[in-house]
Structure 1
Amino acid sequence: MQKQPLDSPEAVRLLVNSFYDKVRVDPLIGPVFTDVAQVDWASHLPKMYAFWENIILGNNAYNGHPFRPHLLVNQKHTLRTEHFERWLQLFSATLAEHFTGETAELVRQRATQIALVWNQKLLYLNNA
């Protein structure tokens, strides 16, 4: 498979779809999405396309509060550091598998920041 730049809505959809294909079958975080959050993939994926298009392409496609659903999931099933680490491993692997260039590296860095911050917020809330 030839790697491509991460520079279009089509590339973002490839990133999101390939990533969530990995998530769904992952033994650690897959059940959080399917059993705990009971994700409706038909509505979730377009939100994720918009979220990542906003970050990657700067097109203001996403208008929402991305941390809020994680709070709700955390009320049902405590999200732990290992969940965020696995999420980041799968996301980084997807980037490395499909994409090349500076944008892909910047997106990996941004995903790392998101995982770290959200993990810290939830750790704080779980221990408050």
Structure 2
Amino acid sequence: MKKLESREDIELLVNSFYKKVIKDDTIGFFFRDIIKVNWDKHLPKMYSFWESILFGQMSYKGNPMAVHFPINELQAMEKKHFDQWLSLWKRTIEENFIGENADMAIYKSENIARLMAYKMEMARKLN
């Protein structure tokens, strides 16, 4: 196992994670069927997002919440979906990395999942 300490490590993490996601019965359909992700565009955004979160590189430009609200209108993004996202993310980290940044990636993802699940639920209630 190695420490999570570079952009290359983030690319490995993100790529490994999305290999799990796309096959997953609980959340894969969001990516395959609902939004039909363009992986050539999505993956670099995710590399930059996590690089910004973990290393303070500020390479990510965007608003994750704003991107997810329209998806939530097409198909409800529920707590169970975010729980599964989080489970896959943690497993991917634990399979590949150790150390402070790996722990931070888990901690940050827990906060992201909790906040996004809450905001998606609130948005559904308002509509």
Q: Which position in structure 1 is the counterpart of 2:98?
A: 100
Counterpart of 2:41, as a letter, is S
Q: Percent identity?
A: 39
Tell me the distance in 1 between the aligned counterparts of 2:113 and 2:25.
Answer: 19
Provide, for residues 16-66 of structure 1, a one-character-per-residue CA deviation record: whole Å limited to 9, x for no partner. Answer: 000000000001100111100111011000000000011111111101111
Q: Which position in structure 2 is the counterpart of 1:62?
A: 60
Tell me the distance in 2 between the aligned counterparts of 1:74 and 1:83.
Answer: 11
Question: What is the TM-score normalised by the length of structure 1?
Answer: 0.96
Q: Which position in structure 1 is the counterpart of 2:7?
A: 9
Tell me the distance in 1 between the aligned counterparts of 2:34 and 2:67.
Answer: 12
Aligned length: 126
Provide, for residues 70-118 of structure 1, a one-character-per-residue CA deviation record: whole Å limited to 9, x for no partner. Answer: 1111111011110000000000000100000111111100000000001
1:123 pairs, out of 109, 121, 124, with: 121
Q: Which position in structure 1 is the counterpart of 2:23?
A: 25
2:70 pairs, out of 69, 72, 82, with: 72
Tell me the distance in 2 between the aligned counterparts of 1:65 and 1:32.
Answer: 19
Question: What is the TM-score normalised by the length of structure 2?
Answer: 0.97
Tell me the distance in 1 between the aligned counterparts of 2:48 and 2:82.
Answer: 21
Alpha-carbon RMSD: 0.7
Contact 2:73 2:124 in 1 (8 A): no
Q: Which position in structure 2 is the counterpart of 1:83?
A: 81
Identify unmatched segments of 5+ residues in structure 1.
none
SS at match of 1:27: coil
2:40 pairs, out of 32, 39, 42, with: 42
Identify unmatched segments of 5+ residues in structure 2.
none
